[in-house]
Structure 1
Amino acid sequence: MLSGVSKSMLSQIERGQANPTFAVLWGLTRALKIEISDLVEGTSAGSNTDTVEVITAPHTPEIKNADGSCHLRILSPPRLAGDTEWYEVEIAPGGCLESSAHAPRAFEHLTAFTGGFEVTSGGVTKILKTGETARYPADVPHRIRNTSKTAAKGLMVLLYR
């Protein structure tokens, strides 16, 4: 299934025997190419173009690496996953975000709001100064390290071409 949700789980939800977790809702809305708010509120994209959607900070999805040194806030809408994604990135001093190769032709853009970022992709390593942007292939293993003594913060955009 596109959603990654099993038929038995969907059946249990439909019969009121199970409550979907956020992860299940996320998978379903991504597969349906709708926003979670559309699912909950019963609206659909394009049904009301006179609105401004606000996602509060506590409702912004987050990802942390295993040791907790890297924190990504998912800023892009779920319907764009696998096409264009953007993240607020914060890496603790000495932390490292190791990434396996993404889909073929994937490309990342990392803009440093602070210093300390070291980006490695395809065997090439670059250090970013505050305000600089690194653009690099993400269809190969790559990593972002914080070489400074303070948290490194930035914005990452991931494009799937």
Structure 2
Amino acid sequence: MSERLLSSAWLSLWVSTVSGALEEMTEEFERKHGFPPGTNQVRLADREDQEAARALGCEAPAAVDLATFYGSIGEVVWEDVGNGYFMHPACDVHQQLVEYGAVRVGESQEPCGLVIGSDGGGVSYVIGPDGSIHRTRTASLDEPEFDRVADDLRQFLELLDRSLARFVATGEPGYL
């Protein structure tokens, strides 16, 4: 098995690391920014999240990592890190797929990407059928242009971790 694949153990370590950084950030947030922090958390998956993940997997089989992610993590909400970062719950990803269909990403001729997250400025993050993560260049999913930001979900989560660490240290999350 590739060491790049997500595992529940790796995700548990990731959650522990980013939760500590989020706690540090929120403790000093109001003093630094002059207003109280919003929601900044990684919510662990509950039974409903896991059921939604299974439904999503049946509707649109995607990368193995996505099923592993949603088996452990229900949602990522970082309202105050830069413009914000959000990994949508499986039920929202599934609902978006049912209502609007898959997104054409990369060189694919067929719509096959799933919108799994966004930032607070309306930019969307899409996972392709190969597990790569792409970011829209604009806030629109109508004929979007994408930039590949990570080779897989694990690398994307590592980039989120680095953005959070940079934000805690400097107040700037960088570009993701």
Give the TM-score category using the shorter length. Answer: under 0.3
TM-score normalised to structure 2 length: 0.25
TM-score normalised to structure 1 length: 0.26
Greater relative CO, 1 or 2 (CA 8 Å, sep 6+): 1
- As a proportion of its length, which structure holds more helix? 2
- As a proportion of its length, which structure holds more strand? 1
